[in-house]
Chains A and B, each alone.
Chain A
Amino acid sequence: MMRFLLLFSRQGKLRLQKWFTPVTDREKKKVIRDVTMLVLARPPRSCNFLHWRDLKVVYKRYASLYFCTGLENQDNELLTLEVLHRYVELLDKYFGNVCELDIIFNFEKAYFILDEFLMGGEVLETSKVAVSVSVEEADTLQETMEEYMSKPAY
């Protein structure tokens, strides 16, 4: 299973954090600091995997955002790259040409989409369409449309 999923910018600013095991706040900060530093220090054309503590860290850079996750030993690293890619595709479909700003201003949406795709560190739904449909249908249930429906002007 995945232990955590982090999204951070090239300057190291955190944009999303999902933890799949109970971790104290202090420990969370430490993990974020360590992993962010490790990943940002990697030269451009390196392999996307590295070892940190007892976990395998898989990361991929999409434009200005790093998508980074910590795996346990028996997890398939190559497949996890596909998982990260799938998440980006889902974000892209939802926001239409997603960019970092979308995720900054609509972070809660990013979480909602993530929660329809992954749960407890495992893939929940393998069909792109099914995930998008669930998120959109759930959106229609929201009572106050004005708060959330329109894309904000930055």
Chain B
Amino acid sequence: MSAAAARPLVTVQSLESDMATDANSVPLPDVMRAAIRPDIVTFVHGQISKNARQPYAVSKRAGHQTSAESWGTGRAVSRIPRVAGGGTHRAGQGAFGNMCRGGRMFAPTKIWRRWHRQVNVTQKRHAVVSAIAASAVPSLVLARGHKIEEVPELPLVVSDAAEAVEKTSAALKVLKQIGAHPDAEKAKHSQAIRAGKGKARNRRYVSRKGPLVVYGNEGAKLVKAFRNIPGVEIAHVSRLNLLKLAPGGHLGRFIIWTKSAFEKLDSIYGTFDKVSEKKNGYVLPRAKMINADLARIINSDEVQSVVKPIKKEVKRAPLKKNPLKNLQVMLKLNPYAKAAKRMALLAEAQRVKAKQDKLDKKRKPITKMIDVVPNCIWIVYNDPAVGDVFLLWLVISLEEASAINSASKSWYKTMISDSDYTEFENFTKWLGASQ
């Protein structure tokens, strides 16, 4: 409801009997811009339609008009109460239970069932207002199923000459002139026998609904003229019925207004600012969103200027690679890893080399005597007791000497440990005496 800028005008359709100069226009009453609330309408419609119900119930004595008593146990029959007496089929038959033939039903229907429903007055009014507003939207009227392709304008307002129409044939002509005939025809062609039991229960025929003609002046002849046309219904403006405005709870009945009816709408329902004259203290309901045109809001300057640009390319998460296996990924996470790894590799290489050297040394024979001989010095040593002792002074390098030394030492150690010699090491102990 753009601040009632210029309330759009609705042209009044003129009929044959009008003076050509009479065609004019009426501003749109605010009712037609009220919030359209299908949820409220469905609810209220459901509740209201319960109000015309007539109670039904089973007779309260049904199934109890016997003096049946149970035979108890011991007679090889089930224990339900059985009809007393004799001499007839009925004797001994089960009675009273819902499972028995001729017994009373389960939970016999009562007339004091709550047939009618109360609905808050404002809710009822809101529903009516919504329904009227919906009747002004061609899409909704079409969606409800009315044939309005030839209607010149919605909401359809007809000059008051229509209220004076007396004959049904004239009424039909009026409908044709204003393009409402296809809808009335649709209703006429749809008359059929109801499917289901209803046809045997005084609801034999069904048909579609046609236009609803709303008039403003009491006692207009129009009522009698239009009421016999199949599908067409009449209503006075001040007594609009939700069950007629939204049949079946569905919004968007095709309504034909007369000019006086249309003009009265404003006083009956009020405007958004003005209180209604006829309904005490009533103001039209406000919508949750004043401007419900999402597309326009989204594309408006105010919104677009603040909104971030569209992300055209979709960023997808890359496959996670395992840093423990993939060096590049590891480096991305921990650049020091490269240096650490390099150092580790070098250290490893060194360690390997050192070990290998050690092993080589151990495994390679220190020096074969024969190889060394040319490098030896014979030393003759004259021992008076023994004679000449030829000592062989091996020329061995210092490293070799120390290697030999350590080799022999470790050999001795392993010998000891292998042979558990430690206890024998101290002869003193062994002998058990100290000397």
> Does A associate with B in a complex?
no
Which B residues are closer than 8 A to A by beta carbons? Answer: none
Which A residues are closer than 8 A to B by beta carbons? Answer: none
